[in-house]
């Protein structure tokens, strides 16, 4: 199945990288998702484990699905939801690149008490696709734009434009397992980073999926992964300290979601204080799995009587080859 894909930017942000830190690029070159202990490349150089936000959260979701995708290289089928997410992100990336050219005009119109005209100028920065969207992207984009408009009115344009847009981040660190330090390289792109106006920064993540009461706990893990990456990266210095993080779900009411939602959380509160430990445990579990070649499916025959996996597994591309669902009694826990 094909979908209408729209990118108003010259290239995808992953293609237009001008990242130039040699030490980090060399570390990235010597890293692999399918790392195993003692692994060397064709030049005999020792390799290290490569991670990203999605591999850490993906492993936590199901180690066996991670194994199929990242170790064996199985691909998931592209879905409408994925294309919608990419289309909306492309438009938002473009908007933040272009809107500074119109900022003075928007500010003047607001000061002259012409909010409708100011809003129109802002809205016209949003590019139109050559063909109609197929997944209701326009509704998501409109809600997102209205939130930016509200924020503009509150901030009067001060620190309203992000200081980083699809920021590439590389991080290096060691993970200690049973007294041994295992080197790791992480790479990722942070949607947007805003100045908090007081020398620190706010991380912002845009999601086009549904919102429900479980999402905040999940988002905290994702944002902590970004925060930790910045704290272990050369580019982090421009943004640290991270004083808050935020997320926007402008399609939060799709697929049974409860509402369109955005939230901001500040560091040092009860909500955010446990995130570092949680993410550290997730990373250690992922390293352990590589060390001991242990990638069990979340579902097994053992949870047959009280199983809550069928719903999530029914979305998995690999259910028909998953030993958790297909193994005979007693052989379900292995690859």
| Residue 239 or 325 having the CB closest to ligand SF4 | 325
- CA 263 – CA 247 distance, rounded (Å): 6
The token pair that represents 1 in the structure block: 């199945």
SS3 122: helix
- CA 120 – CA 123 distance, rounded (Å): 5
In the range 268-307, which residues lie near ligand SF4 by CB under 6 A? 297-299
Instruction: Report how far apart the first and last C-alpha atoms of the chain are (Å, whole number).
Output: 31
Find out whether 295 and 66 touch, Cβ atoms under 8 Å.
Answer: yes
* Least CB distance to ligand SF4 at residue 296 (A): 9
Given 316, 328, 332, 335, the residue binding ligand SF4 (CB under 6 A): 316
- By rule CB under 6 A, what string of x and - marks binding of each residue 20-59 to ligand SF4? ----------------------------------------
| Residue 153 or 319 having the CB closest to ligand SF4 | 319
* Least CB distance to ligand SF4 at residue 69 (A): 9
* Least CB distance to ligand SF4 at residue 256 (A): 19
- By rule CB under 6 A, what string of x and - marks binding of each residue 57-96 to ligand SF4? -----x-xx-------------------------------
In the range 193-252, which residues lie near ligand SF4 by CB under 6 A? none
The token pair that represents 41 in the structure block: 């490349």
DSSP-assigned letter for residue 202: E
Give the CA count within 13 Å in the CB-facing half-sphere of 200. 11
- CA 226 – CA 232 distance, rounded (Å): 10
Which range in 79-87, 97-105, 121-129, 314-322 contacts ligand SF4 by CB under 6 A? 314-322
Single out the residue of 287, 309, 305, 286 nearest to residue 297, CA to CA. 309
Place of tokens 């939130």: 147
Q: Is 313 in the site for ligand SF4 (CB under 6 A)?
A: yes
H or E stretch covering 39 = none
| Residue 252 or 323 having the CB closest to ligand SF4 | 323
* Interacting residues with ligand SF4 (CB under 6 A): 62, 64-65, 297-299, 309, 313, 316, 318-319, 322, 324-325
């Amino acid at each position: 199945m094909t979908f209408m894909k729209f990118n108003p930017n010259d290239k995808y942000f992953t293609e237009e990288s001008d990242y130039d830190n040699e030490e980090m690029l060399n570390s990235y070159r010597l890293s692999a998702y399918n790392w195993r202990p003692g692994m060397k490349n064709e030049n005999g150089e020792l390799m290290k484990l490569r991670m990203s936000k999605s591999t850490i959260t993906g492993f936590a979701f199901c180690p066996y699905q991670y194994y199929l995708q990242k170790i064996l290289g199985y691909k998931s089928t592209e879905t409408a939801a994925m294309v919608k997410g990419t289309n909306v992100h492309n438009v938002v990336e473009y908007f933040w690149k272009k809107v500074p050219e119109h900022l003075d005009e928007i500010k003047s119109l607001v000061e002259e008490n012409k909010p409708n005209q100011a809003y129109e100028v802002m809205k016209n920065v949003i590019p139109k696709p050559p063909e109609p969207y197929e997944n209701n992207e326009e509704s998501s984009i409109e809600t997102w734009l209205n939130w930016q408009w509200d924020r503009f009115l509150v901030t009067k344009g001060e620190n309203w434009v992000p200081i980083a847009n699809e920021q590439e981040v590389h991080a290096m660190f060691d993970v200690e397992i049973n007294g041994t330090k295992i080197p790791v390289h992480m790479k990722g792109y942070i949607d947007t980073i805003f100045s908090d106006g007081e020398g620190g920064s706010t991380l912002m993540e845009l999601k086009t999926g549904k919102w429900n009461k479980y999402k905040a706990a999940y988002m905290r893990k994702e944002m902590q992964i970004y925060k930790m990456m910045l704290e272990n990266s050369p580019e982090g210095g421009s943004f640290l300290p991270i004083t808050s993080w935020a997320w926007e779900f402008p399609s939060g009411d799709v697929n049974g979601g409860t509402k369109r939602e955005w939230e901001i959380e500040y560091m040092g509160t009860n909500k955010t204080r446990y995130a570092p430990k949680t993410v550290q445990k997730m990373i250690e579990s992922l390293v352990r799995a590589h060390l001991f070649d242990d990638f069990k499916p979340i579902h097994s025959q053992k949870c047959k009587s009280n199983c809550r996996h069928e719903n999530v597994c029914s979305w998995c591309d690999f259910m028909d080859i998953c030993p958790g669902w297909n193994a005979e009694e007693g052989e379900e826990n292995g690859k």
